[in-house]
Amino acid sequence: MVYREEDPGQVAYRLTGRPATAPRRSAGSPAEVLLDGGTPVMVKRGDAPGAVRAEVAGLRWLAAAQAVRVPEVLGHDEHWMVTERVRTGPSGSGAALRFGHALAALHASGAPHFGSPPPGGPRDAYIGLAPMRNEPGADWPHWYAEHRVLPYVRAAVDRGTLSPAEADVFERVCARLPELAGPAEPPARLHGDLWNGNVLWGADGEVRLIDPAAHGGHRETDLAMLRLFGCSHLDRVLAGYRQTAPLADGWRDRVALHQLFPLLVHVVLFGRGYAEQALAAARRTLAG
């Protein structure tokens, strides 16, 4: 029988077939384990049903684009995953420019539909600890409203974090989304949770991405999330991106619109502290 509270070293052995030769260097999840032969790996537990399957499918879908680099999945089951450990170093402008090129190539590799889950991934997935439903839709404005804005607004109202009057602000944004969304774009292959903490600056000078909430979406959403919580050398990342794939006119004016999704997720997960920021973004969007 497999227990979810296994020692990470035991998990690494079970899923890779290689014994751990050193004690784990960090408690909890993820934990770093040294395998026989000196290979360091990360062992991560998924606490929600389907979370590991969603993350593994997302990592493999991103890797299949042969654009951005992600840690290799070395083994997994329903509750645990083992990936290679990324040795990190300082950020640099050259790496940032190359990351921008790679991110543009990732997005251009596409997805079947807005809301498409990665192959083999569940429709009921997660962004962080929040549920995220990957339900395919035909056009971005209606899909974004139905599956990336309104579910979190309703959840926040149910929790008492947003008032009905505040919810109306987001509903007005959703009603106007067809005119606010900018030129139509094909579905992009998104990382989906691209905040600074999921961007690892490798010691070899190349960026790796971890912890995806991958799905088909609008490419400006990934870029807006990078800006929301700050990213080293963001100006160089955007320069590299735009060299490879120019953005549609008015993209800067749509940053707040695309930030509504991650901000509302934070409202649901962490409470009122993010509500004012989300409301400000919605009001900026309505003001044009």
CATH of 93-287, one of 3.90.1200.10, 2.160.10.10, 3.30.360.10, 3.30.230.10: 3.90.1200.10
How far apart are the two ends of the chain, measured CA to CA in Å? 57
pLDDT at 2: 47
pLDDT surpassing 90 at residue 47: no
**Mind listing the pLDDT tens digit for each residue in 177-205?**
999 999 999 999 999 999 999 999 999 99
Q: Whole-number mean pLDDT of the chain?
A: 94
The single residue listed with the structure tokens 């735009």 is 242
pLDDT at 61: 98
Tell me the C-alpha distance between 211 and 74, whole Å: 15
Tell me the C-alpha distance between 166 and 150, whole Å: 12
Q: Are 75 and 15 in contact (CB under 8 A)?
A: yes
Tell me the C-alpha distance between 250 and 255, whole Å: 9
Per cent of the chain over pLDDT 70 is 96
Q: Map residue 39 onto helix, strand or coil.
A: coil
CATH for 8-84? 3.30.200.20
> Average pLDDT of 140-163?
98
**Mind listing the pLDDT tens digit for each residue in 71-111?**
999 999 999 999 999 999 999 999 999 999 999 999 999 99
CA angle in degrees (0–180, nearest 5) for 252-219-185:
95
Strands of the sheet with 20-22, listed across from one edge: 20-22, 31-35, 40-45, 80-84, 73-76
Single-letter code of the amino acid located at 221:
T
Q: How confident is the model at residue 27 (pLDDT cuts 50, 70, 90)?
A: low
Domain range list for the chain:
8-84, 93-287
Q: Map residue 280 onto helix, strand or coil.
A: helix
